Amino acid sequence: MMSRLAVRALALMACLVLATCSVAGQQPMPSTLEDAACDVSSTLLFDGTAANRSISEQVDLGPRLPGSNASLALRTIMLEAAEANGWTAETQVHERHGMNLTNVILTLNGSAATPRTAVVLSAHYDSRNIADQDLNASNRSLPVPGANDGASGTAVLLQFISIAPQLNLEHDLVLFFNDAEDQNQNYTEGAEAWADNLTDEDVERIESFLLLDMVGDADLHLHNIEPGNQTLKQRLLALGAALGMVADQTDCAGELGEDIMRYNVTTAVIDDHIHPHALGIPSVNLMDPVYGESKSGTFGSYWHTMEDTPDKVSAESLERVGRLVEVALRTGALLDVDPQEQPEPNDPGSTATDVETSSAPSRNSGLLALGLVGLLLILGLIGTAEWYLKRS
Ligand SMILES: [Zn+2]
């Protein structure tokens, strides 16, 4: 994902005045979903230690740059596991900005009769080609190790290749390993190419899109990432509370949770999920946007540096996130999502903020909201202009 200071002030202003900034943390918790989570919480399969091994394996391959041998080797790992576990595999090659990127789309058919719906889990499997945030100037032309930024989401998805067939899901499950998320000043290229090629029928049958990016940070704090579907966030927060991932909330065992899902803090991020979101598919990004020390205008002091190494990632964090996703699948939390808060199709302007923003008090005044619609429109237009200017 990318981060830019230029729209920081706009994002902060929008966040301070919009009730949606902390909406995910303000909703009543759907107790039935929490109960469903507790019913399966003692039989979860996701193994953080195995996921953590994958981090080192991926980093040991070398930089997973689009078109590289390391990228090919990682795809071979995906495809061999997919074949061994009964998935249908498809690779899609696109040429963008002089790169040949390769998306990998694995589908596990659900048990329901056709027509079937689908849930998409996605992560970028490329690693960034330049450590342009590194404090050491001589490192800035080197490719990052990508232990968290790249390998973490990929490690979680890789494990679902073997876990998902045991879950007896009725719907199809798609694991979308996207390429070229993070190359030079070109971001989310693989996800955009995938979204561009979806038919209306495809869009219609995708119930939800769940992105995992930078989920392995040993000091894990998942933020409320905007844009994102509020219903999905609310459900994930309820499931996370059941799994002990929300401070001041009791988990299934009656213990107080840890401060992991910090959904009272909103961070706006342009990432792969913006493309399905713009198509009206309920989409959400699970991400910890502070990797290392908090550093203004960035996603933390390790982000896009040579410090993004396996020792900064932990099995515990990967297990937290992997199990949250597993519970979401097993409880049906990713199905039948109200898309009411989706933007108009092809309107990325409403998603065009990508910098860290602060948490803000929720304000529910209808009058205030009405009065702010005009301001929002203006901010959206400015944001759109910024977004396109910076991308071009
Ligand atoms: Zn990145």
Residue 6 vs residue 245, higher pLDDT: 245
> Which pairs with CB-CB distance under 8 Å and at least 24 residues apart come from 361-369?
361/22, 362/19, 362/21, 362/22, 362/23, 362/25, 362/26, 363/19, 364/19, 368/17, 368/19, 369/19
Residue 343 vs residue 314, higher pLDDT: 314
Task: Confirm whether pTM is higher than 0.95.
Answer: no
Ligand 1 centroid to Cα of residue 303, in Å, is: 7
What average pLDDT does this structure show over 293-309? 97
- Which pLDDT value is given to residue 1? 62
Res. 19 pLDDT band, cuts 50 70 90:
very low
On the CB side of 124, CA atoms within 13 Å amount to 31
Residue 231 vs residue 360, higher pLDDT: 231
CB distance 362 to 27 below 8 Å: no
Res. 23 pLDDT band, cuts 50 70 90:
very low
- Which pLDDT value is given to residue 338? 85
What average pLDDT does this structure show over 93-100? 96
What average pLDDT does this structure show over 342-363? 37
Ligand 1 centroid to Cα of residue 182, in Å, is: 5
Ligand 1 centroid to Cα of residue 149, in Å, is: 5
Ligand 1 centroid to Cα of residue 144, in Å, is: 9
Ligand 1 centroid to Cα of residue 300, in Å, is: 11
What is the β-pairing status of strands 172-178 and 118-124? parallel
Please give the distance of CA 184 from its chain centroid, rounded to a whole number: 20
pLDDT digits (tens, 9 = 90+) for 186-221: 999 999 999 999 999 999 999 999 999 999 999 999
Residue 224: is it exposed, middle or buried by C-beta count within 10 angstroms (0-12/13-18/19+)?
buried
Ligand 1 centroid to Cα of residue 254, in Å, is: 37
**Residue 136 reports pLDDT greater than 90:** yes
CATH code, residues 8-391: 3.40.630.10
**Residue 358 reports pLDDT greater than 90:** no
What average pLDDT does this structure show over 32-60? 97
- Which pLDDT value is given to residue 380? 55
Average pLDDT score over the chain: 85
Ligand 1 centroid to Cα of residue 37, in Å, is: 32
What average pLDDT does this structure show over 113-117? 80
Show the tokens assigned to 154.
């990929």
Ligand 1 centroid to Cα of residue 72, in Å, is: 20
What average pLDDT does this structure show over 381-391? 48
- Which pLDDT value is given to residue 354? 37
Q: How far apart are the first and last CA of the chain?
A: 16
Res. 45 pLDDT band, cuts 50 70 90:
very high
Q: Which of 38-42, 357-361, 374-378 has the highest mean pLDDT?
A: 38-42
Residues sharing a CB contact under 8 Å with residue 53, sequence separation 6 or more, in sequence order: none
- Which pLDDT value is given to residue 13? 34
Ligand 1 centroid to Cα of residue 299, in Å, is: 9
Res. 114 pLDDT band, cuts 50 70 90:
confident
Type of residue at 97: H
Which of 7-16, 69-78, 150-159, 265-274 shows the lowest per-residue confidence on average (mean pLDDT)? 7-16
User: What span, in angstroms and rounded, lies between the C-alpha atoms of 92 and 101?
Assistant: 8
**Residue 86 reports pLDDT greater than 50:** yes
Res. 280 pLDDT band, cuts 50 70 90:
very high
Residue corresponding to tokens 């998320």: 181
Ligand 1 centroid to Cα of residue 371, in Å, is: 37
What average pLDDT does this structure show over 165-175? 97
Which phi and psi (to 5°) does residue 187 adopt? Answer: -125, 150
Could you give the percent of the chain with pLDDT greater than 90? Answer: 76
